[in-house]
């Protein structure tokens, strides 16, 4: 059976210039925008009090993104906000002037004109971009990597987007989308990763993700939890992880939580960089077979990587069985705790926590993370059953990935 791998962060620090991307005032702007979208409500924070006792922890709280705008995943937060910021910039407005009603008005649409938003996706990001473009009366073109399920493609097509599954991996789909966006008038790349020369829109996407972290902080406070001692967050390219880490470092600069980043082991580019320890970016090439489709990304977001190497405590690479086990545990929690319907990419942080606290093989990881009866742990379940058939296969049928 494949093991969980982990490494403490020993990379050299930088001048931390990208931490300001997640400044609290910028996250507040994103949150205020999201509040104007019809149907907005904070997603639940599942307080697993009985699970915490079972694991020997003080608190375990899971942010449940399966309720986000009826889209079953958090990604729309970044796509919608980055598109709003782009339109604000193109029309010489501050984002504070553009609530969702103004953004979708005929008047603004005539002023802004017709654009085509291009992106690559394993599913959730592309669905969020397609949904936002559809609401805005704009076009969306989405490229999806090989291995993408028909169900994920259908969700995007249902938002009036052009979408195709390519014989390429995720990172090559990103390059294809970028190239195609340059071939059409008013083609705009809306991608949740950054590279040299393409940093602005990915930074807006990260700020959009910050809404989720800000909600979680408020909900923790309502529960009487002043701050989490530990934050577990998953990573593909690292945009979410960098956004979450950046928010909490800015929120608690004097006493930040211990931040743990979890990746799918077949696509663990951040873990690979942490193992190398020199601070450089490292890629994972070729096929990246994993049930965690949203994490099957092999090239780091450069903006996020800078935040992560300055502030993450530990990087973890997890095999598929860890998230499959976690999906089952969250779906059938200890009596009295709320159920969390968590998809393959959503469940893996809790899976790592569960194994760390219950499996003697990971006692050294438990000690390294200083997890004990005083720990108050926050985790993010970033998607629900976005692929219902696979979810049932894992949770109902107990498909074994060991």
DSSP for 200-243?
A: HHHHHHHHHHHHHHHHHHHHHHHTT--S-SEEEEE-SSSHHHHH
Angle, CA of 139, 142 and 148, to the nearest 5°: 150
* Residues labelled catalytic: 75, 122
Q: List all residues 6 or more positions away from 124 whose beta carbon is below 8 Å from its beta carbon.
A: 71, 72, 73, 74, 75, 294, 345, 382, 383, 386
For residue 63, what are the β-bridge partners? 45, 380
Separation in Å, CA 389 to CA 73, 308, 313, 395:
16, 34, 36, 10
Separation in Å, CA 282 to CA 171, 271, 302, 312, 315:
13, 9, 11, 17, 14
Q: Positive or negative CA dihedral for 226, 232, 238, 239?
A: negative
**Strands 230-234 and 162-165, how do they pair?**
unpaired
> Other CB atoms closer than 10 Å to residue 75's CB: what's the count?
31
Q: With residue 117 as reference, give the H or E element that holds it.
A: strand 116-120
Query: In whole angstroms, what is the distance from residue 202 CA to residue 326 CA?
Result: 30
Q: With residue 233 as reference, give the H or E element that holds it.
A: strand 230-234
> Other CB atoms closer than 10 Å to residue 240's CB: what's the count?
31
Query: In whole angstroms, what is the distance from residue 52 CA to residue 224 CA?
Result: 15
């Amino acid at each position: 059976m494949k093991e969980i791998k982990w490494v403490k962060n020993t990379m050299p620090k930088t001048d931390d210039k990208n931490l300001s991307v997640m400044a609290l005032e910028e996250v507040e702007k994103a949150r205020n925008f999201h509040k104007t979208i019809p149907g907005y409500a904070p997603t639940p924070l599942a307080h697993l009090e009985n699970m915490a006792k079972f694991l020997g922890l003080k608190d375990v709280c899971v942010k449940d993104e399966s309720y986000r705008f009826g889209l079953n995943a958090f990604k729309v937060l970044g796509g919608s906000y980055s598109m709003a910021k782009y339109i604000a910039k193109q029309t010489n407005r501050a984002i504070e002037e553009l609530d969702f009603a103004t953004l979708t008005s005929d008047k603004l649409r005539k002023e802004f004109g017709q654009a085509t938003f291009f992106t690559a996706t394993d599913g959730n990001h592309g669905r969020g971009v397609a949904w936002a473009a559809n609401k805005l009366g704009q076009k969306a073109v989405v490229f999806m990597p090989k291995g993408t399920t028909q169900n994920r493609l259908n969700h995007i097509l249902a938002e009036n987007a052009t979408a195709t599954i390519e014989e390429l991996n995720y990172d090559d789909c990103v390059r294809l989308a970028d190239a195609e966006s340059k071939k059409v008038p008013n083609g705009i790349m809306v991608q949740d990763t950054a590279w040299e020369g393409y940093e602005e829109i990915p930074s807006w996407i990260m700020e959009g993700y910050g809404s989720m972290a800000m909600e979680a902080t408020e909900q923790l406070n309502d529960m009487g939890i002043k701050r989490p001692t530990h934050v577990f967050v998953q990573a593909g390219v690292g945009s979410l992880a960098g956004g979450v880490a950046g928010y909490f470092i800015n929120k608690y600069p004097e006493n930040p939580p211990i931040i743990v980043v979890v990746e799918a082991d077949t696509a663990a580019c951040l873990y690979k960089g942490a193992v190398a320890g020199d601070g450089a970016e490292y890629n994972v090439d070729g096929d990246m077979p994993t049930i965690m489709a949203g994490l099957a990304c092999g090239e780091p977001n450069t903006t996020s990587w800078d935040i992560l190497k300055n502030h993450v405590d530990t990087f973890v690479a997890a095999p598929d069985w860890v998230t499959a086990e976690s999906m089952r545990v969250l779906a059938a929690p200890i009596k009295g705790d709320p159920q969390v319907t968590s998809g393959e990419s959503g469940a893996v942080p809790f899976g790592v926590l569960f194994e760390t606290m219950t499996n003697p093989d990971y006692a050294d990881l438990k000690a390294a993370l200083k997890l004990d009866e005083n720990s108050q742990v926050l985790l993010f379940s970033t998607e629900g059953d976005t692929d219902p058939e696979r979810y049932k296969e894992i949770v109902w049928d107990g498909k074994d990935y060991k």
